[in-house]
Structure 1
């Protein structure tokens, strides 16, 4: 028995599976593109600040090549730009909010590895979470954040002077 024309039309009026797959794939692509654009716009201000810090370090401190720009926030927000000068010396440049620029040769200060060694002498093998250059009490420093109590995930921050490696201050942070 054959179907009537109206029954045949009713059966074929649905959207084919292939079109649903195409619509689904297009939707997933749209969501992915939207996510990428959102992330890019969310970090656009940070990138603009970092690029400005790099330009300032090149103009004011004479850096010829930059390695990285690090934003350090404590009492003030300071950008630390690392790189090389025309002579090939490793240089640290601290850019303060008032426009002041402090430039130091890496060789004239405490190296990152020396700061870690000094920390290990005082604290043993506690887990270091991060170590970054920063600005504290009006001078360049190394900030070391570490887990002071692994059982509670409590963290502590210690500041070491960049110039002579003296321990300046330790702050215990509230538990997580």
Structure 2
């Protein structure tokens, strides 16, 4: 009986050790991403008057941007595009000056819900894999990654009015 209790205790300790190790590994792997996200939020608060954050996205199309959605001091919903610079061997850092930081009131553009409705109307039957704000060819856009059943595509819609930019990239099938 003592031997059975001993093995149960060893098994429980082994499971706990494995779970703690997985948590530590996950924390280690995501630490750069978390550091970038936090730096983007701080930069958005300093440069754009962001008071609270509701959502963040990382965009890596033309250049690395973090897009932060939240509220300003007037309690208006805003989107802030924060450009980042690549630093070899370290997490990316926000651009030093504020000239690249772009802020838009959400009411002056197309929000995610409206953009989803526009996409569903224009691309019926397409499965939206990911929709996120981005920068494409110097323009603030919604970047859509979708599947139509035969291929995966990237396409872009202007943030300001939800109109397609006319650029579509088809990913090859496996």
Cα deviation for residue 146 of structure 1 reads 1.0
Root-mean-square deviation (Å): 1.5
Map 1:85-164 onto structure 2 (within 5 A).
Answer: 85-97=72-84, 99=95, 100-148=100-148, 150=149, 152=150, 154-164=151-161
1:167 aligns with 2:159: no
CA distance in 2, matches of 1:164, 1:112: 12
Quote how far apart the aligned CAs of 1:111 are: 2.0
Please give the TM-score of this superposition, normalised by the length of structure 2.
0.85
Aligned residues: 159
Q: Deviations over 1:140-159 (max 9, x none)?
A: 101111112x2x4x211110
Question: How many Å apart are 1:134 and its aligned residue?
Answer: 0.9
Q: TM-score, normalised by structure 1?
A: 0.84
Larger radius of gyration: 1
Return 5+ residue gaps in structure 1 as ranges: 1-14
Q: Show structure 2 runs of 5+ residues with no match.
A: 86-94
Higher relative contact order (CA 8 A, sep 6+): 2
The 5 Å alignment of 1:27-42 reads 27-42=14-29
* CA spacing shift, 1:119–1:27, aligned 2, 3 Å: same
Distance, in Å, in 1 between the alignment partners of 2:23 and 2:172 is 34
Runs of 4+ displaced beyond 3 Å:
none
